[in-house]
Structure 1
Amino acid sequence: MGRRRGIMSHQLKEEIAKELGFYDTVQHEGWGGIRARDAGNMVKRAVQMAEEQMRADKS
């Protein structure tokens, strides 16, 4: 199977990792070095950002 295309842009992932405080790990170990909890929190934050954007677009 081919590599799946990511839904989040690389820039967005980096922004969220910085916000959540584990970007240093990403820089040193790559995305595979983050904890499952960090990955889950990153997805939660991305969903939250998308919901905020949808609310703003409705206004």
Structure 2
Amino acid sequence: MRLRLTRSGASYTGEASTDGVTWTTVGTATPGGAAAAQDVGVFMTAANGWNGARGIAAFDGFTVA
């Protein structure tokens, strides 16, 4: 699974792809008060019902452009 986050003006669009060619928009947001420069990073979370289970994620090919 590949993920990308793009910014256009004040709006951010999240997309997902299984092949890196065809992208599906997951969502778009326009947060109020966003600064011209933003900090970025990656993270993983899991909806595990608060049962104490841990999720594991590996990130590679991470690029900031």
The higher-RCO structure (CA 8 Å, 6+ apart) is: 1
- The interval holding the TM-score normalised by the smaller chain is under 0.3
TM-score by length of 1: 0.21
Higher helix share: 1
- Per residue, is there more strand in 1 or in 2? 2
Question: Which of the two has higher C-alpha Rg?
Answer: 2
